[in-house]
Chain A
Amino acid sequence: MKNLALLATLVTGALLLYGTKDFPAWGDPRDPASTYLSPYYIEKAIEQTHVPNIVTAVLGDYRGYDTMFETVVIYCAGMAVLSVLWRKKEE
């Protein structure tokens, strides 16, 4: 069983390492992740929101919907822990 788990892990790791062949090099300014959407945020965020911290601007304004459901997720986590572990106080 342990050998099977080790085999599955090694196969997955080998496949992922093979996949990195097509990835951009580390820190390349022309890789797809930094040319598609983020230049818009970097160039326009200050002008449109007057917030110097671009991460906060994107978190609170452009992706506010994401952050709202994020808050709902941690709320649900708190309620789940409360309902799973709830018991009467021992007097």
Chain B
Amino acid sequence: MEAIIGEVVAKYNYWIYVVLMMIGFYAMIGKRNLVKKLIGMNIFQTSIILFFVSTGVKKGGGIPIVDKYKALASNIDAATIVNPLPHVLMLTAIVVGVSVTGVALAVLQRIYREYGTLEEDEILEKLQR
């Protein structure tokens, strides 16, 4: 029992991201309103971003901005600075997320202009007619 609790405490960050992902995933496949699906997709995206950033953490590590002259004079120990690579990847992923949200909102506006509703089953009914 103690082993399981120790396991959960050491990896509680992954549990948080999985729960966030489940909320977003349920909103994407369970809801019928297209705007709610979009909000679910954003929550899903947030969980992925948090997961990536958390893989870069090192206990006791500083921020990846260092004193230039000190760094040129002596080599930096890689264990004292957090991993910058996930930060770079997620910086671009956040901007892609904004673009995706913008395009999705534009398509939703167009759907509303065409069909007068954003409920999935009502749109399907109008399509079949």
Contacts and interface: CB of A to CB of B under 8 A. Distances in A.
Interface of A: 1-2, 5-6, 8-10, 12-13, 16-17, 20-21, 23, 25-29, 31, 33-34, 37-39, 41-43, 46-47, 50, 52-55, 58-59, 63, 66-67, 70, 73-74, 76-78, 80-81, 84-85
Given A34-B56, A52-B67, A55-B84, 10 more contacts: A6-B30, A8-B25, A9-B22, A17-B18, A23-B14, A38-B78, A52-B71, A54-B66, A67-B92, A70-B92
Q: How large, as a class, is the contact surface on chain B?
A: 35 or more
B126 interface: no
Interface of B is mostly: helix
Contact of B85 (A31, A41, A67): A41
Contacts of B65: 52-55
Nearest to B19: A13
Contacts of A28: 58-59
A46 B68 contact: yes
